[in-house]
Amino acid sequence: MKKYFGFFKVRFQVGLQYRSASIAALTTQFLWGMMEIAAYRAIYLSSGKEPPMEFAALVSYIWLKEAFLAMFNTWIATDGDIFSVIMNGDVAYELCRPISLYRMWFAKSVGGRCATAALKCVPIIVVAALLPRPYGLSAPKSAAAFAFFILTLFLGLFVTVAFCMLVYAITLFTISPQGLRALLTGAVEFLSGAIIPFPFIPQPVRGVLELLPFGAMQNVALRVYGGSLAGGEMLRAVWLQIFWIAVLVLLGRAVCGRAERRMVVQGG
């Protein structure tokens, strides 16, 4: 266990080196959030009906989504080093080490994501909290909501990483893996609530989405913070997150194990 924590630490520290490079990225994300909120505001103001989510909760959802984007995204850019190792054949060196490929990648991915998120979340949260109402990030609904927010944030991170690991394991079987990854990424975006928050999606579609592993990623934490997910429904979501972590990790390890046994390294 200690060596995998070491991988986490190294990757985390490497990630922290990119301090200056992310200012442009921060501005982008910040403007992105502003535009999204402005659009929702126009929609809320034009609507006579009771919206399915309080505006303050929605604004918090959007800001936290931007702040912790690095934790939950499944784009090509994240975990770039793991991916290039598969592509350029260096995976052969990784296999020589007396460690589990799956656990090492898992630790590295968690470390890299935490580092980027740690760098980005502070400025975004501070600036978003200073913005005037209704654009600003409000305080969490309650102390308990905040505690559960932190818990579900990390559970969601583990679900996301476990899902990505499963994808990496599958890509070990193919020669050019970007295509498969692009397809899965395309599918995940909507299903994880990155496009619109789940409360805007009518039943029964919403019920199905909440049960899927993608619904256990960012959706839970972002809604717990603003109080849009609370009580028994929230506890159910937490159990679902734990369930999906277990299932995805078991599946990922099985696929990874199979791939390791019959790996073909193409030149390099």
Binding site for other proteins (CB under 8 A): 21, 24-25, 27-28, 31-32, 35-36, 38-39, 42-43, 45-47, 49, 51-52, 176, 178-187, 189-190, 195-196, 200-202, 205
User: 17 exposed, middle or buried (CB, 10 Å; 0-12, 13-18, 19+)?
Assistant: exposed
Phi-psi group of 105: left, alpha or beta (phi > 0 → left; psi -120 to 50 → alpha; rest → beta): alpha
C-beta closer to other proteins: residue 60 or 74: 74
Whichever of 42 and 242 has its CB closer to other proteins, that residue is 42
CB of 194 to other proteins, least distance (A): 8
Q: Which is nearer to other proteins, 27 or 88 (CB)?
A: 27
Distance (Å, rounded) from C-alpha 179 to C-alpha 199?
Answer: 31
Q: CB of residue 46 vs other proteins: minimum separation in angstroms?
A: 5
The rounded distance, in Å, linking the Cα atoms of 124 and 59 is 13
Closest CB 175 distance from other proteins, rounded Å: 8
Least distance from C-beta 232 to other proteins, angstroms?
Answer: 24
Contacts of 83 (CB under 8 A, 6+ apart): 76, 168, 171, 177, 181
Nearer to other proteins, 203 or 232 (CB): 203
Q: In 3D, which of 17, 22, 57, 21 has the Cα closest to residue 40?
A: 57
